[in-house]
C-alpha cells in the first residue's frame, strides 16, 4: 500500500513540474514584448534594453524558468508589472473568496448530487422526476444560470445581493449563495445521474443479493453495500468535477463581480500582467493536480483491491 502511495506521490510531483514548464513557457509564446509594456508604450531602444536587463528578460528560457521556480518554491510568485506589487500580496485578499466559493459549490454538488441520485435510483416515481430535472440541469451553463439567478433572486425578489463577496462568514454565505448555485447546477445534475447509474448497478450485484438473503435490513444494505460500493465511481468522477469548478469559477466570478482568483486572472490576462497570470494559472493547475491526487488516495481507502498495486 505504501508503495502505491509513493508511486502516486512521485507522479503527482512530475505532473506539477511539467505543468509549471507549460505555464511559464506558454506566456512567452504569446505576442507582445513585456519590456514594451513596462516602459509604457513610448520607449527608446536604450530604455527597453535596460528593462530587459533589470527584469532578466534577455536570459535563456530555462535560466529564467529556474529562477522563477525557485522563487515559487520559496513563496515568491514574482512582481506584478501592472500594480508594482508582489503577486502574493495581490492574491492574498482574493484567494479566500475563491476557496470559499469553490468549497461551497463542491458541498452543494456532492450533497445534492448524491442525495438526488440515490433517491432517483431507489424510488421509481421520484426517479422519473429527478431524471427530467437533471437532464435539464445538465444543459444549463453557469453563465446562463448566473444571469437567471441574478434576475430572479437579486433583482426581482431582492433576497440576495447582486454582486460582491461580503466579509465575515454569514455575510460571505449570503453573498456567495447565488454564485455557488450557478456554479453547482450542471455539476449537481451530472453527479446525480452518475450516482443513479452507479447505485442501480450496485443494486443488481450478487453480493447485494447475499446481504438480502441474510436478513440484513434495507437501510444497512443500501448504506454498507450499495452506496458504499457506488462511492468508488462517484469519487473518481468527483475529482474531474473540481476541474470543471475551477474553469467555471472564472466565469461565475466575472458574472457576480466577485473579487477572486478567477476575475483576477481575467483582468491580468487583459493587462498582460505576466507574473500574475503565471501565478494564478499555477495555483489553479496545482489545485487540480493535488485534488486529483487526494481523490486517488481516497480511492485506495474505498477500494482495497487497488492497494495491491496491480490494478
Partner 1 sequence: MNVLEINHLAVELPVEGALRRVLHDVTLSIGPGEAVGLVGESGAGKSMASRAVIRLLPAGAAVHGDIRYSGDSVLAMDRAALRHFRTHDVAMVFQDPRAHINPVRTIGDFLLEALLERGERRDDARAAVIAVLAAVGVSEPERRLRQFPHELSGGLLQRVMIAAALAVSPTLLLADEPTTALDVTTQSDVMVILDARRRERGLAMLFVTHDLELAAAVCDRIAVLYAGFLVEDAPAGDLHRNLRHPYTAGLLASRPDPVAPRPRLAAIPGRPLSAFEVGAGCAFAPRCAFAVERCHLERPELRVLDAGRVACHRAEELAGQLALSPTPGGSE
Q: What is the DSSP string of 212-281?
A: HHTT--HHHIIIIIIIHHHHHHHHHHHHHHHHHHHHHHHHHHHHHT--SHHHHHHHHHHTT-HHHHHHHH
Cβ at position 192, least distance to partner 1 in Å: 23
Is residue 125 close enough to count as binding partner 1 by CB under 8 A?
no
In sign, the C-alpha dihedral spanning 298, 303, 306, 311 is: negative
Pairwise CA distance, residues 166 & 179, whole Å: 12
Is residue 308 close enough to count as binding partner 1 by CB under 8 A?
yes
- For partner 1, which stretch binds (CB under 8 A), given 50-58, 89-97, 223-231, 290-298? 223-231
**Closer by beta carbon to partner 1, 45 or else 215:** 215
Choosing from 63, 139, 212, 223, the residue that interacts with partner 1 (CB under 8 A) is: 212
Is residue 211 close enough to count as binding partner 1 by CB under 8 A?
yes
**Closer by beta carbon to partner 1, 13 or else 223:** 223
Choosing from 207, 247, 257, 309, the residue that interacts with partner 1 (CB under 8 A) is: 207
* Cell numbers linked to 166: 461580503
Choosing from 31, 41, 46, 206, the residue that interacts with partner 1 (CB under 8 A) is: 206
- For partner 1, which stretch binds (CB under 8 A), given 11-19, 71-79, 186-194, 299-307? 299-307
**Closer by beta carbon to partner 1, 1 or else 13:** 1
Distances (CA, A) of 64 to 57, 80, 101, 237, 278: 8, 16, 34, 37, 13
Distances (CA, A) of 82 to 86, 90, 135, 169: 10, 11, 44, 31
Is residue 305 close enough to count as binding partner 1 by CB under 8 A?
yes
Angle at 294 between CA 291 and CA 297, to 5 degrees: 155
> Under a CB-based contact definition with an 8 Å cutoff, are residues 185 and 113 in contact?
no
Choosing from 180, 225, 264, 277, the residue that interacts with partner 1 (CB under 8 A) is: 225
**Closer by beta carbon to partner 1, 119 or else 216:** 216
Cβ at position 207, least distance to partner 1 in Å: 4
**Interface positions with partner 1 (CB under 8 A):** 205-207, 209-217, 220, 224-225, 228-229, 232, 302-305, 308
Amino acid at each position: 500500500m505504501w508503495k502505491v502511495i509513493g508511486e502516486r506521490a512521485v507522479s503527482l510531483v512530475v505532473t506539477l513540474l511539467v505543468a509549471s514548464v507549460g505555464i511559464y513557457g506558454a506566456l512567452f509564446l504569446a505576442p507582445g514584448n513585456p519590456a514594451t509594456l513596462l516602459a509604457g508604450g513610448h520607449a527608446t531602444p536604450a530604455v527597453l534594453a535596460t528593462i530587459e536587463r533589470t527584469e532578466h528578460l534577455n536570459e535563456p528560457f530555462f535560466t529564467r524558468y529556474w529562477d522563477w521556480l525557485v522563487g515559487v518554491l520559496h513563496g515568491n510568485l514574482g512582481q506584478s508589472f501592472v500594480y508594482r506589487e508582489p503577486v502574493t500580496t495581490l492574491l492574498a485578499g482574493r484567494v479566500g473568496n475563491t476557496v470559499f466559493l469553490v468549497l461551497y459549490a463542491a458541498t452543494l454538488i456532492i450533497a445534492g448530487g448524491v442525495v438526488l441520485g440515490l433517491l432517483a435510483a431507489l424510488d421509481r416515481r421520484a426517479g422519473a422526476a429527478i431524471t427530467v430535472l437533471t437532464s435539464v440541469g445538465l444543459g444549463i451553463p453557469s453563465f446562463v444560470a448566473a444571469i437567471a439567478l441574478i434576475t430572479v433572486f437579486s433583482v426581482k425578489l431582492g433576497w440576495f445581493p447582486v454582486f460582491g463577496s461580503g466579509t465575515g462568514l454569514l455575510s460571505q454565505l449570503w453573498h456567495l449563495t447565488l454564485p455557488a448555485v450557478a456554479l453547482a447546477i450542471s455539476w449537481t445534475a451530472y453527479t446525480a445521474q452518475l450516482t443513479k447509474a452507479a447505485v442501480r448497478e450496485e443494486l443488481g450485484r450478487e453480493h447485494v443479493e447475499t446481504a438480502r438473503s441474510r436478513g440484513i435490513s434495507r437501510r444497512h444494505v443500501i448504506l454498507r453495500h450499495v452506496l458504499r460500493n457506488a462511492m468508488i465511481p462517484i469519487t473518481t468522477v468527483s475529482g474531474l468535477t473540481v476541474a470543471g469548478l475551477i474553469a467555471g469559477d472564472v466565469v461565475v466570478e466575472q458574472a457576480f463581480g466577485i473579487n477572486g482568483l478567477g476575475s483576477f486572472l481575467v483582468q491580468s490576462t487583459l493587462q498582460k500582467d505576466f507574473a500574475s497570470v503565471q501565478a494564478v494559472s499555477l495555483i489553479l493547475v496545482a489545485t487540480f493536480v493535488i485534488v486529483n491526487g487526494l481523490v486517488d488516495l481516497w480511492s485506495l481507502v474505498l477500494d482495497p483491491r487497488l492497494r495491491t498495486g496491480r490494478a
